[in-house]
Structure 1
Amino acid sequence: MTFRATCLATVFAFCAAGPLAAQGKIDVAIIGDPDTFDPMVSTKDVVSIVTQHFMETLYTFDDNWQVVPLLASDMPTISEDGTTYTIPLREGVSFHDGSTMDSGDVVASLNRWKEVASRGMAIADQINGIEATGPAEITITLSEPYAPLTTLLAFSNSAAVIYPEEILADEIDEPIGTGPYKIKARQPDQYTQLVPFDDYSQPGAAAGERAQIPDEIRFIPVPDTNTRIEGLLSGQFDYADSLSTEAFERIEASDVAEPVLLEPFGWSLFAVNHKKGLMTDLNIRRAVQAALPYDDMLFAAFGDEKFFQTDGALYPEGWSWHNEAGTELYNQNDPEKAAEYLEEAGYDGQPLRILTSRQYEFHYQMAEVARMALEMAGFTVQVDVVDWATLAQNRDNPDLWDIYITHSPFLPEPTLTSSLFATAREGWANPEKEEILDRFTRETDPEARKEIYAELQQKVYEDVGLIKIGNFNVVQGKSRALSGVTPSPWPVFWNARKEQ
């Protein structure tokens, strides 16, 4: 048995007893229990929020969404033809089992990433090789230029995290990382307890200090929105994720807590099943697109216009990717036109299955308004309401849904939107879209990429690759005694400090 395997049981002690008493404890209420601690295989925010504290990638983002080194020691050296990336690695970085990261661990981890991670699989065909070209250096060779590569390597979900080579397998139940915290204990559906990793090696200044201030961080799954709110207001939780907009003024008036408004946060969308079922028919997709009343859906979900924007552009104004291509097909709210598409499709009343959850209450509210509008257009609608963990499992089975409701923050690189790729669970494989996407990822000139992205947005609307509902802001909440947490879709707590 290797040293790493021997230490594994100690490092990753999933114990049934309560967490140990500690000074500087931070309690964070999240929407549910992560169904995995392997961020390679998940795109769920709840997984990213927790795992980013103990798993790390070669690169990360600074406060301006610029890619900066994390486990890499510098940005890559890129060949003139854009196909060879030579990446230097930091030396002396320890894994939680006491072993030291080297190029072999990085190569093995990235090879697994391109096989099991949705973002890795999206570019796997363009990777000719990943090899160690020194003890602290790797080289990635591509078949053609891929402009977003470093952004993909920096992202925290479907993440290219680095594991010890010896633990790699198709499924990793007990992860070992390099992050500033490590798992001390976990009680499923009750808490995950993290404690500082004593041998953590700080990254360079560009990545920011990870100060390990709390002696303990507890992530507590609280599926009910109101329970998260009440726990925040009572002082039970120091931070609470994904709160209802209706609670904003109540939290704002509290002496104990204060709201954290992320504005603009991102966009809500209906993910479309292109693999099986009703939505494989373009006329059915167009009927859904024509029928939906986005203003009504957003108002039902968020209650006040200060929390949403009815906007068809996939990126809002102020982002370099903003354009209006295809948006004439947004917010049609035309049941008669939808009925015409249904007639052309020969629709026979088969239920349109919408998969959603109440753990994100705004998803459910949008589903209910959508149901009424779609029924007015002639659809038979079946809304399947499940918990988020079940939704995450069921959406991987194309036999179980036609649409599932989700959302995403605005991401710095459009190709981080996995729904655009045929390899994603939705399976959108339009040949014209593939050609546009291929040109977009090969192009390195920023202005040319913006023009190609407008073509891609046009195709999203024409082929109904996905259905954007609108932009929205997110309410989180924090204790007034808590500082050191930067508002983010994926808040981190290694610099959090709580006044006693």
Structure 2
Amino acid sequence: MTKLRSFFTATALAASFGALSLPAQAEGVIDVAIIGEPDTLDPMMSTKDVVSTVTQHFYETLFTFNGNWEVVPLLADAMPAIAEEGKLYTIPIRQGVTFHDGSAMDANDVVDSLKRWTEVATRGKGVADKIASIEATDDYTVEIRMNEAYSPLLSLLAFSNSAAAIYPQENISETIGEVIGTGPYKLVEHRPDQFIQVERFEDYASRDEPSDAAAGARKQVLDEIRFVPVPDPNTRLEGLMSGQYHFAEGLETEAFSRLEGSETAEPVLLRPFGWPVFAFNHHAGLMTDLNVRRAVQAALSPDDMLYAAFGDENFFVVDGPLYPEGYVWRNKAGIENYAQADAERAAEYLEKAGYDGTPLRILTSHQYEFHFKMAEVAKVNLEAAGFTVDMQVVDWATLGERRNVPDLWDIYITHSPFLPEPALTSLYNATANTGWADEEKEKVLNAFTSETDPEKRAELFTELQRLVYEQAAFYKVGGFNALMGKSRKLEGMDETPWPFFWNASLAE
């Protein structure tokens, strides 16, 4: 099996959703069944995986990750020169790169894009106070001057999630209108809740290095890719099995055996993939009280939640450390507070908090069915401890909107792949929609992000994990493997949490 994630075909499922009518499928065209409608096509404005998956095909960043999760240049011509004890980055910009509107990319486009990123993007805002200036020193050189050394900067600039994407200078405003990037595919048509159609950008300037995950050459073998929102996981599976889709993401564990026995499709299993998380609202509402957060932490039973969500122990692990085996970041600090499943202890915390029965609002969605199944078990756990629970089941796009309004929720359920750099996880940042702000945490986090010695960084992350559990900052449910599926005709894909389809092809 090749290394990515797969593609899709959305034509026949149109009838299942009522109004959808796709053009007839042509050679070199794939349809990809995604979990729902992206709430934006501006990658700076969202941390959702579905947004990253789609927008990385038409927007690009200065850097990206290779197959070993090392940062390498993409729109940058080379890795930056770093001087002044890590406070000055001089970045050469590639020449000959063209935007989809025909204009040439230069350092001014990069500077204005990065400035916008620090103003509107979750990850950009998280580092904004550490950046003194972003300036063009000539047409193809950008300097980023830092107030202090910040070791994760290049990883942030490489990430396709809440991305530091590069736009034409003339198209930059608070809200991006027309979709104009530098990527191998350009947007042709977007019918919300029906499809997002992209086609080959004929003037694309690919890198020359061999393809290596998202790094190196991005070959435009496919003529066209159509991303089709299909909120129901069973519908995604049936469309894949019937040949309507070439790739389907977010499949349930029960689909694995069917895909293994299919002549049309095959499973794509990422192991280990990531961690489900209950994100706590530190801005407003019940969860601003430490004792309420500790009550939730004490009440939850990850064993039961994970079994309900995945059913098969081959797909999950009950595991408290924030990173799995094999990562330098793995440690056991604070995990005595994991998997307590202790209703009586939780009730004691609620009594300390003076809890008055105000409903605990939990946001979840069926698009990721395992989120919903975990929420159902959590509701039982929390009610046993004395909580009144208001479980609000909405579509994924609505959840994304509501979680940005602190007065509307107390907990939302999400997940993340295991990221190579912990600072890429927005949950640690006070500027994130969760808003975990604490003086001691900020001190540890700042030390962690300014340190360059790997051993010292690992020690500091151990302290950060201790604070996560001590302050019940959020709740890692455990670890899980992700199941996707692809057509047996789809070749040349890389295994990655955010499937991309440059370099992919359809076998005869």
> Shared fold by TM > 0.5?
yes
Quote the residue 1:90 is aligned against. 94
Quote the residue 1:329 is aligned against. 337
1:69 and 1:204 in contact (8 A); partners too: no
- Quote the offset at 1:495 in angstroms: 1.3
2:179 and 2:187 in contact (8 A); partners too: no
Q: Distance between the aligned counterparts of 1:277 and 1:484, measured in 2?
A: 48
Is it true that 1:478 corresponds to 2:482 in the alignment? no
Q: What does 1:385-424 align with in structure 2 at a 5 Å threshold?
A: 385-424=393-432
Q: What does 1:274-289 align with in structure 2 at a 5 Å threshold?
A: 274-289=282-297
Deviates more, 1:88-97 or 1:200-209: 200-209
Quote the residue 1:314 is aligned against. 322
Is it true that 1:138 corresponds to 2:146 in the alignment? no
Quote the residue 1:250 is aligned against. 258
Aligned AA (2:174): D
SS in 2 for 1:184: strand
Q: Distance between the aligned counterparts of 2:383 and 2:40, measured in 1?
A: 37
Q: Distance between the aligned counterparts of 1:492 and 1:126, measured in 2?
A: 32
Q: Distance between the aligned counterparts of 1:456 and 1:283, measured in 2?
A: 20
Q: What does 1:19-58 align with in structure 2 at a 5 Å threshold?
A: 19=23, 22-58=26-62
Q: Deviations over 1:271-317 (max 9, x none)?
A: 00001111100000000000001100000000011000000000001
- Quote the offset at 1:17 in angstroms: 8.0
Quote the residue 1:13 is aligned against. none
Q: Deviations over 1:235-279 (max 9, x none)?
A: 100000010011111111111111100100000000000011111
Q: Distance between the aligned counterparts of 1:313 and 1:354, measured in 2?
A: 24
SS in 2 for 1:120: helix
- Quote the offset at 1:173 in angstroms: 2.8
SS in 2 for 1:367: helix
- Quote the offset at 1:18 in angstroms: 4.4
Q: Distance between the aligned counterparts of 1:298 and 1:426, measured in 2?
A: 23
Quote the residue 1:3 is aligned against. none
Aligned AA (1:312): G
Q: Distance between the aligned counterparts of 1:153 and 1:176, measured in 2?
A: 19
Q: Distance between the aligned counterparts of 2:178 and 2:308, measured in 1?
A: 41
Q: Distance between the aligned counterparts of 1:57 and 1:126, measured in 2?
A: 20
Quote the residue 1:150 is aligned against. 154
Work out which of the residue numbers 245, 251, 262 in structure 2 matches 1:237: 245
Q: Distance between the aligned counterparts of 1:19 and 1:91, measured in 2?
A: 37
Q: Distance between the aligned counterparts of 2:188 and 2:476, measured in 1?
A: 40
1:354 and 1:403 in contact (8 A); partners too: yes
- Quote the offset at 1:405 in angstroms: 0.2
Q: Answer 1 or 2: higher relative contact order, Cα 8 Å, separation at least 6.
A: 2
Work out which of the residue numbers 158, 169, 172 in structure 2 matches 1:168: 172
Q: Deviations over 1:203-230 (max 9, x none)?
A: 2416222110011111010000000000
- Quote the offset at 1:22 in angstroms: 3.5
- Quote the offset at 1:498 in angstroms: 1.2
Is it true that 1:296 corresponds to 2:304 in the alignment? yes
Is it true that 1:465 corresponds to 2:491 in the alignment? no
- Quote the offset at 1:21 in angstroms: 5.4
Q: Deviations over 1:353-386 (max 9, x none)?
A: 1000000000000000000011111111110000
Quote the residue 2:15 is aligned against. none
Is it true that 1:215 corresponds to 2:218 in the alignment? no
Aligned AA (1:143): N
- Quote the offset at 1:80 in angstroms: 3.8
1:37 and 1:173 in contact (8 A); partners too: no
Q: Distance between the aligned counterparts of 2:208 and 2:73, measured in 1?
A: 7
SS in 1 for 2:308: helix
Q: Distance between the aligned counterparts of 2:274 and 2:417, measured in 1?
A: 4
Root-mean-square deviation (CA, aligned residues, Å) is: 1.1
Is it true that 1:103 corresponds to 2:107 in the alignment? yes
Q: Distance between the aligned counterparts of 1:156 and 1:20, measured in 2?
A: 31
Aligned AA (1:335): A
Q: Distance between the aligned counterparts of 1:247 and 1:499, measured in 2?
A: 24
Work out which of the residue numbers 196, 200, 215 in structure 2 matches 1:196: 200
Quote the residue 1:11 is aligned against. none
SS in 2 for 1:245: coil
Q: Distance between the aligned counterparts of 1:19 and 1:267, measured in 2?
A: 38
- Quote the offset at 1:23 in angstroms: 2.0
Q: Extract unaligned runs of 5+ from structure 1.
A: 1-15
2:309 and 2:374 in contact (8 A); partners too: yes
- Quote the offset at 1:36 in angstroms: 1.1
- Quote the offset at 1:19 in angstroms: 4.1
Q: Extract unaligned runs of 5+ from structure 2.
A: 1-19
Q: Distance between the aligned counterparts of 2:175 and 2:347, measured in 1?
A: 46
Q: Distance between the aligned counterparts of 2:147 and 2:64, measured in 1?
A: 25
Quote the residue 1:353 is aligned against. 361
Q: Deviations over 1:323-352 (max 9, x none)?
A: 111111100111110011111111111111
SS in 1 for 2:501: coil
2:309 and 2:373 in contact (8 A); partners too: yes
Q: How many residues align?
A: 485
Q: Distance between the aligned counterparts of 2:26 and 2:199, measured in 1?
A: 9
2:171 and 2:177 in contact (8 A); partners too: no
1:265 and 1:409 in contact (8 A); partners too: yes
TM-score, structure 1 length as denominator?
A: 0.96
Aligned AA (1:408): S
Q: Deviations over 1:40-70 (max 9, x none)?
A: 1111111100000010000000011000000
Is it true that 1:445 corresponds to 2:449 in the alignment? no
TM-score, structure 2 length as denominator?
A: 0.94
SS in 2 for 1:383: strand
Quote the residue 1:128 is aligned against. 132
1:70 and 1:204 in contact (8 A); partners too: no
Q: Distance between the aligned counterparts of 1:304 and 1:162, measured in 2?
A: 42
Deviates more, 1:98-107 or 1:179-188: 179-188
Identity of matched residues, %: 63
- Quote the offset at 1:20 in angstroms: 7.1
1:37 and 1:174 in contact (8 A); partners too: no
Aligned AA (1:181): Y
Q: Distance between the aligned counterparts of 1:375 and 1:22, measured in 2?
A: 53
Q: Distance between the aligned counterparts of 2:326 and 2:473, measured in 1?
A: 24
Quote the residue 1:79 is aligned against. 83
Quote the residue 1:305 is aligned against. 313
Quote the residue 1:5 is aligned against. none
Q: Distance between the aligned counterparts of 1:283 and 1:18, measured in 2?
A: 52
Q: Distance between the aligned counterparts of 1:20 and 1:379, measured in 2?
A: 52
Q: Distance between the aligned counterparts of 2:160 and 2:314, measured in 1?
A: 29
Q: Distance between the aligned counterparts of 1:482 and 1:235, measured in 2?
A: 11
Quote the residue 2:190 is aligned against. 186
Aligned AA (1:260): V
SS in 2 for 1:271: strand
